[in-house]
Amino acid sequence: MRSDPKADLQHIAIIMDGNGRWARKRGLTRIKGHSAAERSIHDAVEVCGELGVEYLTLYAFSTENWSRPKAEVSFIMKLLSRFIKGNIEDLDDKNVKLRTTGRLNDLPEGPRQDLERAMERTSGNTGLNLILALSYGGRAELRDAFVQIAHGISTGDMDPSEITEELISAHMYNSDVPDPDVVIRTSGEQRLSNFLLWESAYSEFVFTPVLWPDFHAEQLHNALDQYRSRKRRFGGLE
């Protein structure tokens, strides 16, 4: 869904990068870096709650991340379960609605069920929508949308002349969610890495050298100050 040009800040999306480097700098194993990521996630949820941001999407696991060593993938999946079980009470108290984007069916049964239970429990909440991108890839999302649209055409339910940008948006995984106003990437890398390819067409990008486990409330506020200093024109004139 197109973001509302008049709204201040509805949707923040974050590429949480640099856990491995954070751990290496301390002589720790990579998985310790993933464990340390939890506090930054807490802080991001907290800040979004305070600011009244409606959507926070966190890139937690990409379609490409499955190619990492088996032990690391398995650790991240366990961490996901631990994160959900350990935080669901608090998230629910904070009126957070937990959601996901991506190919959830790719996840092992344990974390998938934990997620589904948590989403069910928080489904009536009306505060921040915390969207975890899991087994998510922007190209996979576009491919899945194209398959659905092609199916509609092949059955005669749709004519190619009806394919508009709005129709494509309506076939994205979470079509009710406005496009991100800002995409933040930590750790100094300056690329999108297959994140929200369609949705970030008019997003502002903020890149920071801070590694994700060091990205706390203060760093997020700094990133948002950068966002606010930009002039968004959506291709038009001021």
CA dist., res. 134 & res. 80, Å (int): 10
Query: Shortest gap between Cβ of 119 and ligand FPP (angstroms)?
Result: 13
Of 74 and 148, which CB lies nearer to ligand FPP in the complex structure?
74
Do residues 152 and 158 make contact, with C-beta atoms less than 8 angstroms apart?
A: yes
Per the residue annotation, which of 65, 125, 194, 222 is the catalytic one?
65
CB of 40 to ligand FPP, least distance (A): 8
Residues in the site for ligand FPP, rule: CB under 6 A? 16-21, 34, 37, 41, 60-61, 65, 76, 79-80, 83, 132, 187
Give whichever of 121 and 232 is closer to ligand FPP, judged by the CB atom.
Answer: 121
Residue 8 falls in the annotated catalytic set = no
Among candidate residues 17, 114, 179, 181, the one labeled active-site is: 17
Scan for tokens 């990521």, then name that residue: 37
For 114, phi and psi rounded to 5 degrees?
-60, -45
CA–CA distances in Å: residue 125 to residues 48, 67, 121, 130, 184? 15, 35, 9, 11, 26
Helix (H) or strand (E) holding 85: helix 70-93
Q: Which of 68, 232 has the CB closer to ligand FPP?
A: 68
Residue of closest CB approach to ligand FPP: 20
Smallest separation, CB 84 to ligand FPP (Å): 8
Task: Identify the residue whose tokens are 């366990």.
Answer: 78
Burial of 214 (0-12, 13-18, 19+ CB in 10 A): middle
Contact 49, 126 (CB under 8 A): no
Q: Give me the least distance between CB of 86 and ligand FPP, in Å please.
A: 9
Q: 163 or 217, CB closer to ligand FPP? A: 217
Whether residue 65 lies in the annotated active site: yes
Catalytic residues: 17, 65
